[in-house]
């Protein structure tokens, strides 16, 4: 009887990256904290409304602003609204803006950078000069102008943030495509009669997903911070809908008297930003090709 043939087992790149991510304690801590905040902000307002009838916009002027208590864990604001409910709902809005704005930026930057790198030559030079000109403009000034011109609605806010946040993604994807389009598998596809658009979206873009994912995870907290700054200026999410930035702005106006209006929204935002940044750094290290042969 023939001896049993030895089986060769291997790991997929995704599983290999996950193993490296699991070894990064700060990244995993950031992942768990971010997941806890996402779940709390998603279902927390619904549970508070069902249990105690709290709503982010229901006012109780007779109750007014009171410090944290067993009835209101984060206290109430100047208008008697439960601050815990408003912080959870504000975190929901800030996460939504961060994710959607980062998605807009990643989509535009990926397509733009891929086309520029694949076409090359004068077209590539012209497209990159456009990026350089936009990149030279003050980032926040451009966002403020777009928000002022097109309005202060929530959809226009994340579109405005995304429209000026795609520049670095475009540069990263362009560099990746420039290095990949001379590889053997691309030349083989060309020799096989595959057209340019199919080569770009079927063969080149899938091989740039690593850097795109890394930069996306680092862009989300940046977009949340930019939204908070706009809300602090009064150009972000408009009342009565809260965001963490708008809550921090309101708390800063009353911080000398009602300290809890600033401390709790600012603490949640700091925790969210730190966890997302630690997670983004861990994803970057896990997807670094130079580390694949070390674990």
Q: How many CA atoms lie within 13 A of 39 on its CB side?
A: 6
Separation CA 232–CA 30 (nearest Å)? 26
CB 183, CB 199: distance < 8 Å: no
Number of domains making up the chain: 1
Question: Cα-flanking dihedrals φ and ψ of residue 82, to 5°?
Answer: -65, 120
Percent of the chain topping pLDDT 70: 94
In-domain check, residue 77: no
Note the pLDDT tens digit of each residue in 16-40: 888 889 999 999 999 999 999 999 9
Q: Give, in degrees to the nearest 5, the angle at Cα 62 between 60 and 68.
A: 70
Please give the pLDDT value at position 4.
Answer: 52
Q: Is the pLDDT of residue 295 over 50?
A: no
Distances (CA, A) of 153 to 48, 92, 128, 159: 26, 16, 31, 10
pTM, 2 dp = 0.84
In which domain, by residue range, is 224 found? 90-287
Binning pLDDT at 50, 70 and 90, where does residue 125 land?
Answer: very high
In-domain check, residue 294: no
In-domain check, residue 68: no
In-domain check, residue 293: no
In-domain check, residue 94: yes
Pick the closest to residue 259 from 61, 10, 124, 78 (CA basis).
Answer: 78
Please give the pLDDT value at position 183.
Answer: 82
Separation CA 163–CA 172 (nearest Å)? 17
Note the pLDDT tens digit of each residue in 55-114: 898 899 999 999 999 999 999 998 999 999 999 999 999 999 999 999 999 999 999 999
Pick the closest to residue 176 from 212, 202, 148, 133 (CA basis).
Answer: 212
Q: What is the mean pLDDT of residues 138-142?
A: 79
Separation CA 230–CA 223 (nearest Å)? 10
Binning pLDDT at 50, 70 and 90, where does residue 290 land?
Answer: low
Note the pLDDT tens digit of each residue in 219-274: 999 999 888 888 877 778 887 788 998 899 889 988 889 999 999 999 999 999 99
Terminal alpha carbon distance of the chain: 38
In-domain check, residue 22: no
CB-CB neighbours of 157 under 10 Å: 29
Q: Is the pLDDT of residue 151 over 60?
A: yes
In-domain check, residue 35: no
Structure tokens belonging to residue 51: 């249990």
* CATH number of the CATH domain containing 105: 1.10.3720.10
Please give the pLDDT value at position 261.
Answer: 95
In-domain check, residue 29: no
């Amino acid at each position: 009887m023939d001896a049993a043939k030895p089986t060769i087992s291997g790991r997929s790149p995704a599983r290999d990256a996950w193993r490296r991510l699991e070894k990064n304690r700060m990244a995993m801590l950031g992942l768990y904290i971010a997941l806890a905040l996402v779940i709390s902000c998603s279902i927390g307002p619904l549970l508070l409304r069902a249990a105690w009838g709290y709503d982010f916009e229901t006012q109780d002027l007779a109750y007014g602003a009171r410090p944290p208590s067993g009835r209101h864990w984060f206290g109430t604001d100047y208008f008697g609204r439960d601050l815990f409910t408003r912080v959870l709902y504000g975190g929901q809005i800030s996460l939504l803006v961060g994710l959607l704005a980062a998605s807009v930026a990643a989509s535009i930057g990926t397509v733009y950078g891929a086309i520029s790198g694949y076409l090359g030559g004068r077209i590539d030079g012209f497209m990159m000069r456009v990026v350089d000109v936009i990149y030279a403009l003050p980032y926040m000034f451009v966002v403020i102008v777009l928000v002022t011109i097109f309005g202060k609605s929530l959809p226009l806010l994340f579109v405005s943030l995304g429209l000026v946040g795609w520049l670095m993604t475009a540069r990263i994807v362009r560099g990746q495509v420039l290095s990949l389009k001379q590889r053997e598998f691309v030349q083989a596809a060309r020799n096989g009669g595959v057209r340019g658009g199919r080569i770009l979206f079927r063969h080149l873009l899938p091989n740039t997903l690593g850097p795109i994912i890394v930069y996306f995870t680092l862009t989300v907290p940046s977009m949340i911070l930019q939204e908070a700054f706009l809300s602090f200026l009064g150009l972000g999410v408009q009342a009565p809908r809260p965001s963490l930035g708008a809550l921090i702005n309101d708390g800063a106006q009353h911080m000398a008297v009602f300290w809890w209006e600033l401390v709790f929204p600012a603490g949640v935002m700091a925790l969210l930003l730190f966890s997302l940044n630690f997670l983004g750094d861990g994803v970057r290290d896990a997807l670094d090709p130079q580390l694949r042969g070390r674990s």
